[in-house]
Structure 1
């Protein structure tokens, strides 16, 4: 993976976290609904057993970490 690809992934994650926070702040989605989105996304990757199964498992672990630890923008 190139540095540019890695940085794109980091940027995408940051943008998505910010969007989820904004949706919650503006009462578009509840915290429970946001957790549901994260859990659904993780489950999708956990259940993928295709050619890139290990990559999908790694993505699921990252999403689960966000789910259990909160978001990076509002952590103490």
Structure 2
């Protein structure tokens, strides 16, 4: 099987589509949070609060017994985003703004 054929098979798979959708949604949300913070609409602590609420929703999800690994991983990713500051420009992190 050629690389081109293999690539087409992967790109047409439902899992690939779901990954693309998830990555796009995450990028859009992070960009919106940055814009809200840059324009002084939402301060950093409120953005972090939104992220913590989202993580808690997955940590305490009622279907956790059915799909607990999924919800644990979602909460873990959100908590890594909080620690990494991806969705807010922290005062102590380089922002690239002038």
Q: TM-score, normalised by structure 2?
A: 0.70
**C-alpha deviation, 1:73, in angstroms:** 8.9
**C-alpha deviation, 1:52, in angstroms:** 1.8
- Structure showing greater radius of gyration is 2
Over the residues paired in the alignment, what is the CA RMSD in angstroms?
2.0
**How far apart in 1 are the matches of 2:76 and 2:68?**
12
Q: TM-score, normalised by structure 1?
A: 0.89
Which residue of structure 2 aligns with residue 58 of structure 1?
73
Which residue of structure 2 aligns with residue 42 of structure 1?
55
SS in 2 for 1:48: coil
Work out the number of aligned pairs and report it.
76
Structure 1 segments unaligned to the other structure (5+ residues): none
Structure 2 segments unaligned to the other structure (5+ residues): 1-13
**How far apart in 2 are the matches of 1:3 and 1:73?**
28
CA distance 1:73–1:25, shift in 2 (3 Å):
closer
